[in-house]
């Protein structure tokens, strides 16, 4: 998972973040408390002194709420440890508490501010100059600060979906791949995914969260469990290698992983997506205004604290899950060596894909160049050139140190995964990495048409990026 720079800047700084949050969330109610104490309540309107005292009590309640938010994050992380079940059930509740707690905190602050502003006007009419100056200054400051703070919190109430270019298969037209997935689900005692999606990326992933796909004609929101399969890698995988990778992904739907995936992963991923969006927005603001968007950062410090505390746990748990899922993958492919060979292809040919995709993007934006009609076949052609140039040997020598880039989780280095399955480096050869037969692409009867359509969609998206 690609982590946000905004949150990564504070990685492993728990105490610092806790102190920052305590300071930020306590300053405003304390200021309001003392301001209210200085108002006489006697101006043009006679205001009951008890009313002012009641509003002072509200500021104390806000103070308690403000302190409770970072404290609850800290104690929850200590309580859950690395227990996936505890994390699964407490994290959604904690996230909602932070979101709605902050919204209530800000709403109460607005009410108190309005009351203070009314008292300020009342004091003006009473011709107390000192209150005019103080009230005007504080009012202007609050009016300047408040909108960005509210915006920062509301950003985290938006639902952000994982978005992929792809097609959702139906069992009638694609019975072979459905049969394989169904048999593997039974074999490893995992849930059968509700959706099977083919897409033009090199990713394979299983997701329990809602997934948005775009096929060039319409956007569809897929719910429940979804298995995403890479079209380019269907071209370079043998059928047994594909079964191993699918078995690995289905392994994430097995046992406690399912609860964790359903309850924790979607919310955690959405938080990170919000941070990634803010990264882009902040960089844009810095370029346009040449200033740091401090106010929004202040509003989201509780979320940074929340995310960072659980990101460390997630990283450790995810690596354990991946190694566990590798066992299912080896079982599905009927050989640890076959499964590791599939992983090796993923690591190596992903490097080829990067070059292929960059070439495709350049050509897509240049109307004078001959277009690439099928991105998957272009990828296979580039992969075979790699074999011909004997670069594969060089990649093979460094293979064990490669780390896979993945949109939904964190994979351990290949050397750790090989050790986990008792496979040695010498068992992986150039010949096995160069073998694409029997091709997994044979499982999809209309694969050429799907690839060409999605290639055209990808081309149009690249063109639109250039135009914008």
Strands 162-168 and 226-230: unpaired
Domain holding 346, by residue range, is 162-258+307-467
Asked, for residue 208, whether it belongs to a domain, the answer is: yes
Residue 228 φ/ψ, nearest 5 degrees: -105, 125
In a domain, 32, yes or no: yes
Show which of 100, 130, 157 is a domain's final residue. Answer: 157
Give residue 186's pLDDT: 92
Let me know whether 87 and 168 are in one domain: no
Are 218 and 100 found together in one domain? Answer: no
Give the number of other Cβ atoms within 10 Å of residue 417's Cβ.
26
Residue 358 exposed, middle or buried by CB count within 10 Å (0-12, 13-18, 19+): exposed
In angstroms, the CA 445 to CA 176 distance is 9
pLDDT in tens for each of the 468 residues of the chain?
A: 566 666 666 776 778 889 989 998 998 899 888 888 877 766 666 677 888 888 899 999 999 999 999 999 999 999 998 888 899 889 989 988 998 888 888 888 888 887 887 777 776 666 555 556 666 666 666 666 666 666 666 666 666 666 788 999 999 999 999 999 999 999 988 889 999 999 999 889 888 878 889 888 888 888 888 999 999 999 999 999 999 999 999 998 876 676 777 788 778 887 887 777 777 777 776 676 665 666 667 778 888 888 888 888 888 888 888 899 999 999 999 899 999 999 989 888 888 898 899 999 888 877 666 788 999 999 999 988 876 655 666 666 666 555 554 444 457 788 889 899 999 888 888 888 888 989 999 999 999 999 999 999 998 888 777 665
Q: Are residues 142 and 197 in the same domain?
A: no
Is residue 274 a part of any domain in this protein? no
Whether residues 194 and 109 share a domain: the answer is: no
Q: What is the Cα 436 distance to its own chain's centre?
A: 33
Residue at 278 is within a domain: no
Structural contact between residues 188 and 326, judged by C-beta atoms closer than 8 angstroms:
no
Distances (CA, A) of 160 to 207, 267, 273: 14, 10, 7
Token pair, residue 457, equals 């969609």
Gap between the Cα atoms of 353 and 375, Å rounded: 10
Same domain, 107 and 202: no
Final residue belonging to a domain, choices 139, 157, 175: 157
Last residue of a domain, one of 97, 129, 157: 157
Percent helix, percent strand, percent coil in the chain, to nearest 5: 70, 5, 20
Q: Answer left, alpha or beta for residue 170, where phi above 0 means left and psi between -120 and 50 means alpha.
A: beta
Question: What's the pLDDT score for residue 99?
Answer: 86
Q: Which residues touch 243 (CB under 8 Å, ≥6 apart)?
A: 180, 184, 332, 333, 334
- Residue 272 covered by a domain: no
Note if the bond before 438 is cis, omega within 30 degrees.
yes
**Phi and psi at residue 168, in whole multiples of 5°?**
-90, 120
Tell me which residue has tokens 């296979």.
380
Are 117 and 237 members of one domain?
no
Q: In angstroms, rounded to a whole number, what is the distance separating the alpha carbons of residues 373 and 454?
A: 10
Task: Identify whether the C-beta of residue 300 lies closer than 8 Å to the C-beta of residue 26.
Answer: no
284 within some domain: no
Q: How many CA atoms lie within 13 A of 159 on its CB side?
A: 7
Residue 289 falls inside a structural domain: no
Q: Residues 220, 102: one domain? A: no
Domains identified in the chain, total number: 2
Enumerate the H helices of 366-446 as residue ranges.
Answer: 375-388, 392-397, 414-420, 430-434
What residue spans of 155-217 are helical by DSSP H? Answer: 175-187
Phi, psi dihedral angles at 42 (to 5 degrees)? -115, 100
What residues contact residue 465 under an 8 Å CB cut-off, 6+ apart? 365
With beta carbons less than 8 A apart as the criterion, state whether 462 and 375 touch.
no
Same domain, 129 and 200: no
For strand 211-214 and strand 219-222, is the pairing parallel, antiparallel, or unpaired? antiparallel
Tell me, yes or no, whether 223 and 362 share the same domain: yes
Q: Is 466 helix (H, G, I), strand (E, B) or coil?
A: helix
Q: Which two tokens stand for residue 29?
A: 């109610």
**Rounded Cα gap, residues 203 and 17, in angstroms:** 34
Task: Provide the pairing of β-strand 211-214 with 162-168.
Answer: parallel
Q: Are residues 116 and 210 in the same domain?
A: no
Same-domain pairing of 175 and 143: no
Domain identity same for 129 and 112: yes
Distances (CA, A) of 157 to 75, 154, 303: 23, 5, 11
Instruction: Give the bridge partners for 163, in sequence order.
Output: 212
Give dist(CA 311, CA 77) in Å, integer: 11
Per-residue model confidence (pLDDT) at position 406: 46
pLDDT value of position 451: 95
Nearest CA among 270, 272, 293 for reference residue 281: 293
Element (H, E) at 326: helix 294-333
Question: Is residue 65 in a domain?
Answer: yes
């Amino acid at each position: 998972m690609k982590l946000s720079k905004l949150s990564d800047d504070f990685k492993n700084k728990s105490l610092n973040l806790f102190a920052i949050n305590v300071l930020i969330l306590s300053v405003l109610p304390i200021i309001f408390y003392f301001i209210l104490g200085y108002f006489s309540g006697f101006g043009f309107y006679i205001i009951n002194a008890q009313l002012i005292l009641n509003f002072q009590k509200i500021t104390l309640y806000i103070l308690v709420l403000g302190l409770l938010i970072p404290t609850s994050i800290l104690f929850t992380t200590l309580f859950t440890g690395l227990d996936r079940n505890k994390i699964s059930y407490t994290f959604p509740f904690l996230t909602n508490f932070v979101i709605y707690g902050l919204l209530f905190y800000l709403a109460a602050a607005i009410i108190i501010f309005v009351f203070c502003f009314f008292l300020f006007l009342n004091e003006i009419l009473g011709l107390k100059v000192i209150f005019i100056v103080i009230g005007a200054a504080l009012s202007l400051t609050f009016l300047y600060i408040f909108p960005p703070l509210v915006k920062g919190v509301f950003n985290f109430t938006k639902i952000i979906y994982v978005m992929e270019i792809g097609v959702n298969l139906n069992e009638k037209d694609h019975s072979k791949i459905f049969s394989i997935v169904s048999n593997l689900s039974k074999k490893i005692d995992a849930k059968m995914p509700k959706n099977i999606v083919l897409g033009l990326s090199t990713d394979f992933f299983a997701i329990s969260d809602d997934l948005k796909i775009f096929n060039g004609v319409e956007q569809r929101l897929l719910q429940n469990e979804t298995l995403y399969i890479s079209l380019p890698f269907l071209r370079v995988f043998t059928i047994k290698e594909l079964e191993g990778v699918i078995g690995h992904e289905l392994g994430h739907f097995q046992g406690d992983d399912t609860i964790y995936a359903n309850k924790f992963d979607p919310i955690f991923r959405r938080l990170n997506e919000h941070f990634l969006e803010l990264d882009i927005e902040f960089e844009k603001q810095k370029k346009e205004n040449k200033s740091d968007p401090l106010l929004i950062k202040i509003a989201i410090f509780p979320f940074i604290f929340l995310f960072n505390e659980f990101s460390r746990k997630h990283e450790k748990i995810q690596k354990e899950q991946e190694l566990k899922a590798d066992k299912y993958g080896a079982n599905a492919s009927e050989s640890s060596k076959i499964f590791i060979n599939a992983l090796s292809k993923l690591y190596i040919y992903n490097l080829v894909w990067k070059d292929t995709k960059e070439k495709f993007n350049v050509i897509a934006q240049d109307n004078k160049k001959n277009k690439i009609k099928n991105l998957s076949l272009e990828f296979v052609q580039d992969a075979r050139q790699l074999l011909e140039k004997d670069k594969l040997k060089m990649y093979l020598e460094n293979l064990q140190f490669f780390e896979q880039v993945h949109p939904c989780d964190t994979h351990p280095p290949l050397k750790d995964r090989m050790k986990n399955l008792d496979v040695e480096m010498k068992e992986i050869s150039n010949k096995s990495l160069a073998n694409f037969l029997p091709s997994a692409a044979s499982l999809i009867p209309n694969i050429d048409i799907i690839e060409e359509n999605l290639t055209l969609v990808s081309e149009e998206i690249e063109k639109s990026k250039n135009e914008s």
